């Protein structure tokens, strides 16, 4: 057993108090994208809550069985958004994963990745930098419009995925440390691009920088930013997660800013929702520091529309491309941000928005769920792919780089000729 028994007992008591609010009504079944594929009660929130009600005993009898059932979930929050009793399903599942991982220990592979690499941002950056130089030996481009690649040879790691390659130059290398004064807006923000925008979609970061400069917003973007912690905490690795949070606090507390912006829905939702949740157990001063940064954190689409007052009033021109928008679970269901990205799409007369059916249906990514259950992830994503193709849109926009990755894979496998963009890119195209 790798975690302190007292800490595990405390987490067990925390979730016990939350479990009682589940009325077993089953309303979560209709919302769960996983249940829609498997039809298994064990996969939906109510089934997992029933398991957790007897967690201590189940853990002793069959810890691996408990872990497998808990891991089979996208942490998309669709069940929580649909629950009439307001059960804090994600809070419960995240703490439960920390308990079971604390009890069983972390797998050697995850230990190597999380503790050997993720905990050391400079090493992580160097490893990714080397990988980006040699990726062409092992991968080849497969769809120019989407910009996706696939493996050249059979690879257990990549499998049949069509993925976005690592950027030649990550955002942090291109800009270095940024610390500019607030201009005409009188506002200064900190920018937290997140791993995927930094290393795979730096063009999204370029768009954010261009927009902030246009509006006279000062930017603080420190070096040595660490991962937001979601891969570690969703695998139950609280030790790595705690270190990543502290590392980010240290680098951002050196700046003076009004908001911390991120163009990644997953990072925003982690910093705003999961950081304060997991900080409940921190000592007072550390808890306050977490809450202070979390309170300042905002999705970039919401900042542009709600704070800077960007308006989407452009009428599509005669040659406008059709564009459709996917609502990331972490943006709409977790943070309630859905109108603002669409407003940004309406700023550009070169695009005409065509809504897809079920635009907020989960794309099936789910972080490590995609790695552990790729077949199910693809099945869930199949509905998203069909909704996108049915619109005949030329461009797909979404506010989460993880969804951009998943949808690239889905569309590239269908040979679709659809460009994939972040709403900030669409708005940035309108600026000089
Ligand atoms: S989690 Fe919510 S929706 Fe699901 S059974 Fe419990 S009370 Fe009902
Ligand atoms: S978080 Fe998503 S996948 Fe997990 S139980 Fe809830 S609805 Fe199902």
Do the beta carbons of residue 175 and residue 221 sit within 8 Å? yes
Q: Is the CB of 219 under 6 A from ligand 2?
A: no
**Mean pLDDT, residues 347-373 taken together:** 95
Closest ligand to residue 377's CA = 2
**Ligand 2 contact via 396 beta carbon (within 6 Å):** no
- What tokens were used for 318? 């005669």
Q: For residue 74, which atom of ligand 2 is closest to its CA?
A: 3
Predicted pLDDT of residue 3: 54
What is 321-429's CATH topology?
Rossmann fold (3.40.50)
Token representation of residue 413:
């496998």
Averaged confidence pLDDT in the chain:
94
d(C-alpha 403, C-alpha 328), whole Å: 7
Does domain 3-104 sit in CATH 1.10.1060.10?
yes
Nearest CA to ligand 2 atom 7: 32
Question: Rounded to an integer, what distance in angstroms lies between the CA atom of residue 368 and that of residue 346?
Answer: 34
Q: What is the pLDDT of residues 91-140, one digit of tens each?
A: 999 999 999 998 899 988 888 888 988 999 889 999 989 888 888 888 88
DSSP letters, 262-293, are ES-HHHHHIIIIIHHHHHTTS-HHHHHHHHHH
Over residues 132-160, the mean pLDDT reads: 85
Could you tell me the distance, in angstroms and rounded to a whole number, from the CA of residue 367 to the centre of ligand 2? 13
- pLDDT of 157-206, one tens digit each? 778 899 899 999 999 999 999 999 999 999 999 999 999 999 999 999 99
Ligand 2 centroid – CA 160 distance (Å): 25
Name, in order, each residue with C-beta under 8 angstroms of 117's C-beta and a sequence gap of 6 or more: 123, 124, 127
Question: For 61-97, what is each residue's pLDDT tens digit?
Answer: 898 999 999 999 999 999 999 999 999 999 999 999 9
With CA atoms as reference, report the closest residue to 297 among 328, 325, 327, 337.
Answer: 337
State percent of the chain over pLDDT 90. 80
**Ligand whose nearest atom lies closest to the CA of 369:** 2
Q: Please give the residue that has the higher pLDDT: either 249 or 9.
A: 249
Q: CA dist 298 to 248, 279, 295, 358, Å?
A: 16, 19, 8, 25
Please give the structure tokens belonging to residue 233. 């905490």
Q: How far is CA 89 from CA 27, 376, 402, in A?
A: 13, 21, 21
pLDDT of residue 1: 46
**Which pLDDT value is given to residue 217?**
98
Distance between Cα 73 and ligand 2 center (Å): 5
- Alpha carbon of 82 to ligand 1 centroid (Å): 8
Of 37, 89, 383, the one to substitute when testing ligand 2's pocket (max ligand atoms within 8 A of C-beta) is 89
Residue 218 in 3-state DSSP? strand
Question: 162 CA distance to ligand 1 centroid (A)?
Answer: 36
Compute the distance from residue 255 Cα to the ligand 1 centre, in Å.
42
Location of structure tokens 């059709």? 322
Q: What percent of the chain has pLDDT over 70?
A: 99
CB of residue 87 inside a 6 A radius of ligand 1: yes
| Topology agreement, domain 171-307 and domain 321-429 | yes
Question: What pLDDT was estimated at residue 394?
Answer: 98
235 pLDDT higher than 90 = yes
pLDDT of the residue at 395 = 98
Would you give the DSSP letter of residue 111?
A: I
pLDDT tens column, 22-63: 999 999 999 999 999 999 999 999 999 999 998 878 888 898
Question: Any alpha helices (H) in 346-429, and if so which ranges?
Answer: 368-372, 374-391, 401-413, 423-428
Closest C-alpha to ligand 2, atom 1:
75
How far, in Å, from the CA of 66 to the mean position of ligand 1?
A: 20
Q: Which CATH number fits domain 171-307: 3.40.50, 3.20.20, 1.10.3470, 3.10.450?
A: 3.40.50
Closest CA to 196 of 175, 165, 217, 161: 165
Q: Are 72 and 51 in contact (CB under 8 A)?
A: no
Contact status, residue 262 vs residue 194, Cβ threshold 8 Å: yes
Measured from the Cα of 77, ligand 2's closest atom is: 1
Q: What pLDDT does residue 61 have?
A: 87
CB of 34 within 6 A of ligand 2: the answer is yes
Signed CA dihedral, 181, 186, 192, 193: sign only: negative
- Going from the Cα of 322 to the center of ligand 2, the distance in angstroms, rounded, reads 31
pLDDT: is 368 or 252 the higher one?
Answer: 252
Pocket test of ligand 2: the residue of 43, 51, 70, 73 to mutate, having most ligand atoms within 8 Å of its CB, is: 73
**Residue-wise burial string across 230-252, b where 16 or more C-beta atoms lie within 10 A, e elsewhere:** bbbbbbbbbbbbbbbbebbbebb
61-65, 144-148, 341-345, 417-421 — which is least confidently predicted? 61-65
Confidence of residue 388 (pLDDT cuts 50, 70, 90): very high
Number of H helices, E strands in the chain: 25, 11
Residue nearest to atom 6 of ligand 2 (CA): 79
86 C-alpha to center of ligand 1: Å? 8
Task: Please report, for the chain, the start and end positions of each structural domain, with discontinuous segments joined by +.
Answer: 3-104, 171-307, 321-429
- Which pLDDT value is given to residue 212? 98
Question: Could you give the angle at the alpha carbon of 336 between the alpha carbons of 330 and 340, nearest 5°?
Answer: 100
73 pocket-lining for ligand 2 (C-beta < 6 Å): yes
SS3 percent helix, strand, coil of the chain, rounded to 5, is 55, 10, 35
Cα 191 to Cα 351: distance, rounded to the nearest angstrom: 27
| Backbone conformation region of residue 12, classed left if phi is above 0, alpha if psi is from -120 to 50, else beta | alpha
- Tell me the ligand closest to 44's alpha carbon: 2
Q: What is the torsion angle, in degrees rounded to the nearest 10, for the CA atoms of residue 204, residue 210, residue 213 and residue 219?
A: 30
Is 383 close to ligand 1, i.e. is its CB under 6 Å away? no
């Amino acid at each position: 057993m790798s975690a302190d028994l007292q800490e595990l007992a405390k987490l067990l008591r925390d979730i016990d108090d939350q479990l009682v609010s589940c009325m077993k009504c089953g309303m979560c079944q209709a919302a769960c994208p996983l249940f829609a594929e498997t039809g298994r009660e064990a996969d939906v929130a109510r089934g997992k809550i029933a398991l957790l009600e007897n967690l201590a005993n189940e853990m002793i009898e069959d810890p691996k069985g408990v872990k497998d059932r808990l891991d089979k979930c996208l942490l998309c929050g669709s069940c929580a958004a649909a629950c009439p009793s307001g059960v804090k399903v994600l809070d419960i599942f995240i703490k439960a994963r920390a308990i079971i991982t604390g009890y069983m220990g972390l797998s050697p592979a995850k230990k190597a990745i999380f503790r050997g690499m993720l905990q050391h941002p400079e090493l992580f950056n160097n490893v990714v930098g080397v990988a980006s130089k040699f990726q062409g030996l092992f991968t080849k481009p497969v769809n120019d419009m989407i910009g996706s690649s696939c493996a050249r040879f059979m690879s257990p790691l990549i499998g049949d995925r069509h993925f976005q390659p690592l950027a030649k130059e990550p955002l942090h290398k291109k800009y270095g440390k940024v610390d500019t004064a607030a201009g005409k807006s009188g506002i200064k923000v900190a920018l937290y691009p997140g791993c995927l925008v930094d290393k795979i979609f730096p063009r999204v970061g370029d768009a954010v920088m261009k927009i902030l400069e246009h509006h006279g917003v000062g930017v603080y973007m420190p070096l040595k930013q660490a991962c937001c912690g979601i891969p570690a905490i969703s695998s139950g690795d609280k030790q790595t997660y705690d270190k990543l949070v502290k590392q980010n606090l240290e680098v951002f507390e050196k700046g003076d800013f009004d908001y911390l912006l991120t163009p990644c829905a997953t990072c925003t939702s982690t910093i705003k929702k999961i950081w304060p949740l997991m900080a409940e157990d921190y000592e007072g001063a550390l808890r306050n520091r977490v809450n202070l940064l979390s309170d300042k954190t905002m999705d970039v689409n919401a900042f542009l529309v709600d704070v800077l007052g960007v308006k989407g009033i452009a009428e599509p021109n005669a040659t406008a491309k059709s564009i459709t928008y996917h609502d990331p679970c972490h943006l709409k269901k977790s943070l309630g941000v859905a109108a603002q990205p669409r407003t940004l799409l309406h700023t550009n007369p070169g695009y005409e928005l065509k809504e897809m059916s079920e635009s907020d249906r989960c794309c099936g990514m789910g972080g490590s769920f995609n790695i552990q259950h790729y077949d199910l992830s693809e099945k869930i994503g199949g509905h998203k792919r069909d909704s996108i193709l049915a619109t005949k849109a030329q461009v797909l926009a979404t506010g989460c780089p993880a969804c951009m990755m998943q949808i690239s894979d889905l569309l590239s496998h269908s040979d679709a000729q659809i460009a994939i963009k972040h709403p900030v890119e669409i708005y940035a195209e309108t600026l000089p």
